[in-house]
């Protein structure tokens, strides 16, 4: 009977999600399987909930893609280019921060050496 239940679970992977989300336990699923068998209408409640979750996910993905369809990538590129130029301009106000004239003092040397 255990092997039949394992095969049934492999055919219906949504049961794994129910157990992982703490909605049920393997023991409860096995008891239902033992009482009603594989082809009972009781399994429809588990299968319907999973299809509802999948349809919600599909709807969310569609909304996400619709959001990105309205974005003009050329406009974003121009804005980023303008911001980059503005940042470079502000860096110029700060003066030359790269002081290449600095020579590091050798180690173990004192000021008056």
**32-43: per-residue pLDDT in tens?**
888 888 777 777
Query: What digits encode the pLDDT tens for the residues 82-112?
Result: 998 888 888 877 665 555 666 776 676 666 6
Q: How far apart are CA 81 and CA 87, in angstroms?
A: 10
Better-predicted residue by pLDDT, 9 or 45 = 9
In a domain, 24, yes or no: yes
Instruction: State the Cα torsion 11-14-15-21 to the nearest 10°.
Output: 160
User: Residue 24's domain spans which residues?
Assistant: 2-92
Q: Does the pLDDT value for residue 56 go beyond 60?
A: yes
**Residue 111 located in a structural domain:** no
Q: Domains in the chain: how many in total?
A: 1
Contact 43, 11 (CB under 8 A): no
Residue 37 lies in a domain: yes
**Has residue 105 been placed in a domain?**
no
104 is a domain residue: no
3-class SS at 71?
coil
Record the tokens describing residue 66, joined without a space: 């619709």
Residue 112 lies in a domain: no
- 78's CB contacts (< 8 A; 6+ apart) are none
């Amino acid at each position: 009977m255990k092997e039949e239940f394992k095969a049934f679970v492999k055919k219906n992977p949504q049961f794994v999600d129910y157990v992982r989300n703490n909605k049920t336990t393997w023991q409860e699923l096995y008891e239902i399987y033992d009482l009603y068998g594989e082809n009972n209408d009781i399994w429809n409640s588990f299968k319907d909930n999973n299809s509802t979750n999948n349809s919600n996910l599909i709807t969310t993905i569609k909304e996400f893609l619709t959001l990105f369809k309205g974005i003009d990538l050329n406009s974003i590129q121009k804005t980023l280019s303008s911001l980059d130029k503005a940042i470079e301009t502000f860096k110029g106000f700060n003066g030359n921060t790269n002081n290449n004239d600095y020579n590091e003092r050798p180690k173990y040397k004192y000021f008056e050496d």
